[in-house]
Homo-oligomer: A and B are copies of this chain.
Amino acid sequence: MATHTPSWTEEKGTPTGALLYPHTKTYMIFGANTDVGKTVVSTVLCLATRRTPEVIDEVVYYLKPVSTGPATESDESYVRKYTNGIRTKTFYQWDKAVSPHIAARESTQRPPRDVEVLRQIICCAEQCDNARGSVGEKDEGWLFVETAGGVLSPGPSGTSQADMYRPLRMPVILVGDSKMGGISTTISAFESLRIRGYDVSVVVLVDFHPEYQNADYLKEYFTKYSVPVHTLPPPPSSDREDFEEKVQAYYEEIRETPDSWYELKRILRNAHLHRTQRLLTMRPGALKRLWYPFTQHGTLVQKNIMVIDSALGDHFQTVVLEEPGKTDDDDRYPRDVMPEDRSRGVMQSFFDGSASWWTQGLGHGNSYLALEAAYASGRYGHVIFPEAIHEPALKLAEALMAKINNPRVSRVFFSDNGSTGVEVALKMALHAVRARFRLPTDTKLWILGLRDSYHGDTMGAMDCSMPSAFNQQIEWYTPRGVWLDYPKVFCRRGRWFISIPPSIKAHSTAEFTRGPFPDLDTLFGIAAKRATHDEDKTLYETYIARILFESQKKGIHFGALMLEPVVLGANGMHLVDPLFQRTLVEHIRNFPHLVFPAGPSRETPHSTWSGLPVIFDEVFTGMFRLGRVTASSFLDVHPDISVHAKLLTGGLLPLCVTLASESIFNAFSGNQKTDALLHGHSYTAHPIGCHVANVSLERMWQMYEGGEWNWAIWTGKFGKATRQNSWSFWPRDFVHSLSQLIVVAEVWALGCVLAVHLSGPAGYTSAQAYRFQVALRSRDKDKDWNIHTRPLGNVLYIMTSLTTTHETMTLVAERLLDVLTS
């Protein structure tokens, strides 16, 4: 029995996505419990679509995807009986009156997969919407989907129905419970739906038990959610003799009493109208009110703004509604909002190719993370942190120590994002250096770093990077560093190389290339010690020593070595030879006099830094983004300070930690408060962030330890190969194929990341990737989903989450190859 959250991507050819049509209103009918009157509500809704008892005014479909119990007493047959002329359908019917997951399991046939159920609903919805035009005046359509049991009752696969149907994210009619205890079950059911991102349009109560006055309570309760509560009189009970006639009379009575259904219909129509009209105005609203990060508004056109209605797993649900020539001012639903040939509704599914700008790990709309976020909110809200402690923060600190397993670090400092975390690291390192060497306060301390590194957008973080397109226009930007050239790693024509710039190979002007290597593991020296290891190490050491010597001659004092391990992200997605970074760190540590002539000799205890405090900015590279909990493990050296953010919360909300060694920590210890690290943010270690980080870290660790990514390993045959090998969601053969293309200069893949460096002008200002970005996002009727990317100049990168499946990867890879070769 599976209780997992279904994925859009369980197999090839997944459904289009969420259901939304301009003229067909689709609603899902959930019950607060079983036996609360869902089918009565369905019947009333279907009847409400008639002008007279005989004339059906609108196109109406009733679906019961999954049904258990005798077919002759099924909900579908009930609805059909009392609503002559409505199209009805049951997809799966099991005779045994038990939960669908048991009935399906005990059946001789394979239980339907979640995605199969969804696809049939979409198919019916399209039929329903198409039927509108063909029946004369019927330009309004209604689709009602009645679920089985309560909101979290399992579907055939065992997935709870609220989770199983979530990809469609249809607005909900929640049928409340009028029984004793029904207030509780109704509100709880509402909460379970809300945790899963559903919008409940109305609560309908079939008032079997008016004596409990549940309706009064619920009406007041739902006011704060602006959810109306509508009541219906109870139908006759089934133990009466003239049951069928009485029921017939009940529905006739209801139909003749417009108050019973007219208001309900109005609520549903208005909710739909409100939603579609709002979606229409979001693009112009955004263009008018927002100031986007890293966006040139002068060239931003309205149609390129992606309206995200919701997201799930790897996918956004976006809106392709286009503005009509004019909007109708009357109270009718919007007309002519899309070309007639769009039969699939107005939602378009997009693979989130930037892993939501590098944060995403455990999937969008993850209801487990949602509930855990709520738990921490409900238990604490936010509580002050200095000189206080709460379980989520302490647990996270301890878990990070255990999992990151860096013997040098022992302390956790919390902040809100990578950039602030880098500033914290900077303050720590500079102060530690000044304290050790008793430097006067006006000594200028510089950063030693790599060309193309980037550490964030706040001023202090910016100053750690060398001048580039990102910072040259910033008024207060003051470069404070010396930045080394570095050897790049890439795949070209199916083979892997290291490119050593001329500055490193000082006596040659030509670029110097190492390789080819058959794969990354060999190059990294993981699978086997790479042949050129010693030779390159010497080359690198010579270069590093020269730069340090020249810096010393210029009177430069360094305050920290700051690196993004293995991958330089924001500033161009470059893969660095780990041997170079490792050599750099070791050289600084082994020869402290190269940094500070008067400095102490090499120190041995793990917690004590030597030469310079080494800061690793793992904001992008860490937390399994590159396949390992830290990217520094590729280097096989430990930093004195490391910064972690983005994936830390599984991709849900901002949180950052800066880890530091005891020796750095002690540099701030004293009697004076002003000697302390006077840095902090109001929401420091907010419980909601820490708790979500804890459960995310646990989940990621489980996946890692449990070998869930083993399919993605490129080489090696180890049981837990993710520990020993480099691996990637991107198949090796695919990467090698890409590297053969004319438009591709070079390419690399590691963990979740694929970086395609295109031929032609390089750099952030390059527009090389633009046409491929457009091709990938273009709506294609043959594709269930397209791909959203956010290139960096000439680099078209695509990043998966940690839960992306092999099947999805195959589709993404196929599509990318297709676009790059067309």
Contact = CB atoms under 8 A, between A and B. Distances in A.
Interface stretch (A191-199, A724-732, A812-820): A191-199
A383 B363 CA distance: 10
Contact of A681 (B149, B293, B371): B293
A719 interface: no
B378 A149 contact: no
B459 A670 contact: no
A184 B681 contact: no
Interface in A83-129: 97-99, 101-102
A289 B183 contact: no
A381 B393 CA distance: 21
A358 interface: yes
Interface string A401-432: 10000000011111011111001001100110
B420 A184 contact: no
B305 A388 contact: yes
Residue of A34, A152, A181, A304 ringed by the most chain B CB atoms within 10 A: A181
Interface stretch (A278-286, A534-542, A592-600): A278-286
A749 to B, nearest CB: 21
Given A296-B673, A369-B381, A384-B352, A681 B185 contact: no
A181 B34 contact: yes
Given A300-B387, A476-B460, A681-B457, A381 B398 contact: no
Interface string A156-195: 0010100000000100000000011101110111011011
Given A290-B393, A308-B383, A192 B191 contact: yes
A360 B381 contact: yes
A346 to B, nearest CB: 15
B654 A416 contact: yes
A208 interface: no
Interface in A429-487: 430-431, 434, 441, 445, 457-461, 463, 469-476, 478, 480
Interface stretch (A47-55, A507-515, A682-690, A706-714): A682-690
A645 interface: yes
Nearest to A469: B674
A365 B380 contact: yes
A459 B458 contact: yes
Contacts of A17: none
Given A417-B420, A459-B459, A476-B430, A381 B183 contact: no
Interface string A365-393: 11111110111111111111111111101
Contacts of A153: 181, 183-184
A370 B382 CA distance: 11
A33 interface: yes
Given A305-B387, A460-B460, A474-B678, 15 more contacts: A33-B184, A99-B180, A99-B217, A197-B375, A289-B411, A296-B671, A298-B669, A304-B387, A374-B377, A386-B790, A416-B416, A417-B420, A458-B460, A475-B559, A654-B686
Interface in A61-89: none
A430 B367 CA distance: 43
Interface residues of A, number: 178
A734 B684 CA distance: 33
Given A292-B386, A386-B292, A682 B283 contact: no
B387 A295 contact: yes
Report the 10 A-B pairs with minimum CB-CB distance, sorted nearest first.
A293-B680, A150-B184, A197-B379, A459-B460, A34-B181, A197-B378, A370-B377, A430-B475, A374-B374, A364-B381
A687 B391 CA distance: 25
Contact of A434 (B286, B289, B296, B475): B475
A531 to B, nearest CB: 39
A754 to B, nearest CB: 17
Interface string A18-35: 000000000000010111
B183 A99 contact: yes
A681 B447 CA distance: 23
Interface in A486-543: none
A374 B194 contact: yes
- The CB with the most chain B CB atoms within 10 A, among A288, A423, A669, is that of A423
A578 interface: no
A591 interface: no
B299 A352 contact: no
A205 interface: no
B474 A427 contact: yes
Given A3-B220, A371-B191, A681-B417, A184 B160 contact: yes
Contacts of A675: 296, 298, 473
A473 B298 contact: no
14 contacts: A195-B374, A197-B379, A292-B385, A292-B387, A295-B387, A305-B388, A356-B382, A365-B380, A386-B790, A445-B476, A474-B678, A653-B686, A654-B689, A673-B765
A206 B431 CA distance: 62
A364 B383 contact: yes
A293 B198 CA distance: 39
A357 interface: yes
A414 to B, nearest CB: 8
A678 B295 CA distance: 7
A382 B647 CA distance: 11
Contacts of A416: 416-417, 420, 654
A744 interface: no
Contact of A224 (B194, B368, B788): B368
Contact of A475 (B311, B445, B478): B445
A195 B188 CA distance: 10
A430 B476 CA distance: 8
Contacts of A461: 458-459
A397 B290 contact: yes
Given A420-B419, A688-B373, A184 B149 contact: yes
A822 interface: no
Contacts of A473: 431, 441, 674-675, 678
Nearest to A660: B291
A359 interface: yes
A378 to B, nearest CB: 4
A553 interface: no
A183 B354 CA distance: 37
B195 A189 contact: no
A296 B672 contact: yes
A811 interface: no
A676 B150 contact: no
A251 interface: no
A250 interface: no
Q: Tell me which of A149, A309, A459 has the highest count of chain B C-beta atoms within 10 A of its own C-beta.
A: A459
Contacts of A660: 291
B187 A653 contact: no
A654 B651 CA distance: 15
Contacts of A388: 305-308
Nearest to A194: B375
Interface string A759-790: 00000110000000000000000000000101
A607 B68 CA distance: 64
Nearest to A430: B475
Nearest to A434: B475
A219 to B, nearest CB: 10
A745 to B, nearest CB: 21
B672 A765 contact: yes
Contacts of A476: 426, 430, 445, 460, 463, 480
A682 B358 contact: yes
A400 B671 CA distance: 45
